[in-house]
Chains A and B, each alone.
Chain A
Amino acid sequence: MSDQLIKYIANMQEEEALALTKEMLESGVAPMEILDDCRAAMDIVGNRFENQEYFIPELILAGEILKSITAVVRPHIEGEEEVGEAIPVVVGTVAGDIHDIGKDVVVFMLDINGFEVHDLGVDVPPQVFVDKISETEASVVALSGFLTLSFDAMKETVEAIEAAGLREGVKIMVGGGAVDEGVSDYAAADAYGEDAMAAVSLAKKWTGGNGRG
């Protein structure tokens, strides 16, 4: 565990973090240990985001730092990474809508909270949600939308999940742009989430605890 590396990442010191990573690898620190430090740093970033010390610029930079470190560390890893059992969540922007900002923040926050996030991207047809839910046996689904047209697309997505016989097994949240509580009712979803933190607490509430099963 390197407190220094955690600090560099959490404080957005990109160059220092990368230089230290290389030093650590050269001095024989286990690659998995470095990745654990990254995870710890991301927890701090997530907390600061929740506390409104950090915003989108820091989240995006944190993602970039993580990407560069992983690229340096990955070649040193032998064999498969050990991954704990995480609870699957399916996330996507509904059909007809290509907005991704809010959805990406939700994905980031669910991810660092330990959920196994299946990000379907944008303009996702109802059937793709249905297929992913069956495949992953996810019990939480998050539908994102920015435009007013997403109201109907959300409704159709929930209907498709229902028609596929999967509705009882999942809790569905909606959020984004023009979406509000009224849309959750309209689409027959289970809840509306105001922001990414709300998405995390809904997911935790519905699955009983944190992201790890």
Chain B
Amino acid sequence: MDVAKNPLDKGKSKEELLAERQQRINDALQLEKPDRVPLFMPAGYLLAEYGGVTHAEQHHNFDTAQELLEAFALDFEPDSVLGLFNNPGPSLVLGDRMTRWPGKQLPENGSFQFDEHEFMKAEDYDDFLADPSDWAIRTYLPRAFEKLEGFKILPPFIMWSFGHYHLGNLPMYAAPPVRESLEALGEAIQVALQDAANMGESTERMAELGFPPTFLAGALIEAPFDFMSDTLRGMRGIMLDIMRRPEKLLAAEEKALKYELEFAISFCQATGLKRAFIPLHRGSDGFMSLKQFERFYWPQLKEMMVTLVEHDIMPICFYEGVWDQRLEYLADLPKGKTAGWFQRSDIFKVKDVVGDTMCIIGGMRNSLLTNGTVEKVRARTKELCERVGEGGGFIMSTGVGEMEGSDLELVRAWADATREFGTY
């Protein structure tokens, strides 16, 4: 029996398909011309819709989610496919106050969302800058995680850790609120371990079916500005910092950059993964002026990317929103060493400006797969293959990393058209 149904891949073995798909993606990422345009489907909750289960079920039942991922991959035959980005496990165990999950804070069919807060106040900058880790343990964790509130009664971390004279302070860790928080932390670690094991199993099972591991696998880090914005200051707080305390914000970003690089480099060394996925949030057109971007966002992000490249790690950025006014900055990056997934930028302009610099991921509008027609989807796919795919360095994908609500007939038309028009 044939593994693949589409005419181009009919008759190939799983091993051949795996090798070809892997090669196709790698070629595109290296800015080379593969045999055809690789197709990436970040299916997300579309898998639940495909299998008739709830979003909550997809999040909480690994076996069901994995079976749906396999069935979907075999049905639509993309070169790379992804289920859900986020696992609720550790967040729910720790009671984090920054995420909302289907079946918990949301209805069974709700969609995962971030709920931004100003967990770090403006007046916390000095403590953060003096010692970010101690501030994190005793101030941030109790604010951001319900189950880690016990840590707020701890003495400064250095007051037991620097040896013999201070070991008498250890009983503080036996105080009931601290003990409960430590137990919750232990439980979260177990849950995260299980998630990691599931991810490993999923990767193996997909490989057995001829699908390569996701090319986004690697260290997950943030632009230093977003690091301070997303889970610490929140959008409102960080925008006021630009105006009211620019020097402190810059100093904090410097700390974030140092720790993130240290983490990403050692993570990649330890795992052998050679990529870093960096979802970008507040640097797009509209949030800040180019002048502010040049001071608070780009230099730190660029230094991060250039340093990663020097360590043989490929940064893959998700350029959320529109970046049309700042594509020229991206053109400065080392050629063929980074990749960009563009959500809503003018994808043809992206090709013109950074086509020689980085592999471009994206192009298909999510709304077209929701309520377009087969003709419109085919026409858009053809245009993308011909113009953005020209010369290689293009991975076809939706702009948003989530395909919930897509019409399956249109998804099929998209996959078929990518193979039809994307062959070089």
**Given the complex of chains A and B, what is the CA–CA distance between A12 and B243 in angstroms?**
8
A166 contacts the other chain (CB 8 A): no
- Chain B: number of interface residues, binned into ranges: 20 to 34
Q: B405, A148: Cβ atoms under 8 Å?
A: yes
Distance between Cα atoms of A96 and B55 in the complex (Å)? 13
Q: What is the distance, in angstroms, from A210's C-beta to the closest C-beta of chain B?
A: 24
CA distance A98 to B114 in the complex (A): 8
- Does B113 lie within 8 Å of A151, measured CB to CB? no
Kindly state whether residue B161 has any CB partner on chain A within 8 Å.
no
Chain B residue numbers with a CB within 8 Å of A55 are 286-289, 292
Interface presence of A64 (CB below 8 A): yes
* Least CB separation from B235: chain A residue: A101
- Among the stretches A18-26, A37-45, A176-184, the one at the interface with B is A176-184
1/0 contact trace for A27-71 toward B, CB 8 Å?
Answer: 000000000000000000000000011111110110010000000
Q: How many A-B residue pairs have CB under 8 A?
A: 83
Pick the residue among A57, A97, A148, A177 that contacts B292 (CB under 8 A).
A57
Q: Does B260 contact A (CB under 8 A)?
A: no
The reply to whether the CB of A149 lies closer than 8 angstroms to some CB of chain B is yes
With A52-B289, A55-B288, A186-B371 as known contacts, state yes or no: A147 contacts B113, CB within 8 Å: yes
- B370 in the interface (beta carbon within 8 A): yes
The reply on B180 being an interface residue by CB < 8 A is no
Bound together, the chains give a CA A96 to CA B110 distance in angstroms of 7
Binary contact track B106-117/A, C-beta < 8 Å → 1, others 0: 100011010100
Number of interface residues of A (CB under 8 A): 31
Q: Which of A14, A64, A98, A148 contacts B366 (CB 8 A)?
A: A148
Q: Nearest B residue to A96 by beta-carbon distance? A: B110
| Chain B residues in 8 Å Cβ range of A97 | 113
Q: How far is the CB of B345 from chain A (nearest CB, A)?
A: 13
Assess the A98–B286 pair: CB atoms within 8 A: no
Q: How far is the CB of B237 from chain A (nearest CB, A)?
A: 9
Smallest beta-carbon distance B46→chain A, Å: 10
Cross-interface CB contact of B243 among A58, A98, A99, cutoff 8 Å: A58
Residues of B within 8 A of A53 (CB): 289
Chain B residues contacting A54 (CB-CB under 8 Å) are: 289
Nearest chain-A residue to B288 (Cβ)? A55
Does A159 touch B at the CB level, under 8 Å? Answer: no
Docked-complex contact B365 and A151, CB < 8 angstroms:
no
B379 CB, min distance to chain A CBs, angstroms: 13
Q: Does A156 contact B (CB under 8 A)?
A: no
Q: In the complex the two chains form, is B243's CB within 8 Å of A147's CB?
A: no
- The chain A residue sitting closest to B246, CB to CB, is A57
Give the complex CA separation of A179 and B236 in angstroms.
Answer: 23
Residue A152 lies at the interface, judged by CB distance under 8 Å to chain B: yes
Contact A147 B286 (CB under 8 A): no
Residues in B with CB closer than 8 Å to A57 are: 239-240, 242-243, 288, 292
* B235-A186 in contact (CB<8A): no
B239 engages A178 (CB within 8 Å): no
The answer to whether B370 and A186 have CB atoms under 8 Å apart is yes
Please tell me if the beta carbons of A186 and B243 are within 8 angstroms of each other in the complex.
no
Provide the residues of chain A in CB contact with B370, threshold 8 Å.
148, 151, 182-183, 186
Question: Which chain A residues (126-169) contact chain B, with CB distance < 8 Å?
Answer: 147-149, 151-152
CB distance B110 to A148 under 8 Å?
no
Contact indicator B235/A185 (Cβ below 8 Å): no
B371 to A178, Cβ gap below 8 A?
no
In the bound complex, CA of A52 to CA of B292 (Å): 12
Tell me the B residues contacting A by CB distance below 8 Å. Answer: 100, 106, 110-111, 113, 115, 235-236, 239-240, 242-244, 286-289, 292, 321, 343-344, 365-368, 370-372, 399-400, 402-405
Q: A57-B239, A177-B321 are in contact. List 4 more A-B contacts (CB 8 A).
A: A148-B366, A178-B400, A182-B372, A195-B286
Shortest beta-carbon contacts, A-B, top 3: A182-B367, A186-B371, A57-B239
25 A-B interface contacts by CB (under 8 A): A52-B289, A55-B286, A55-B287, A55-B292, A56-B235, A56-B287, A57-B239, A57-B288, A61-B239, A96-B106, A98-B113, A98-B115, A148-B366, A148-B400, A148-B405, A151-B405, A178-B344, A178-B399, A180-B344, A180-B367, A182-B371, A182-B372, A183-B367, A183-B371, A186-B367
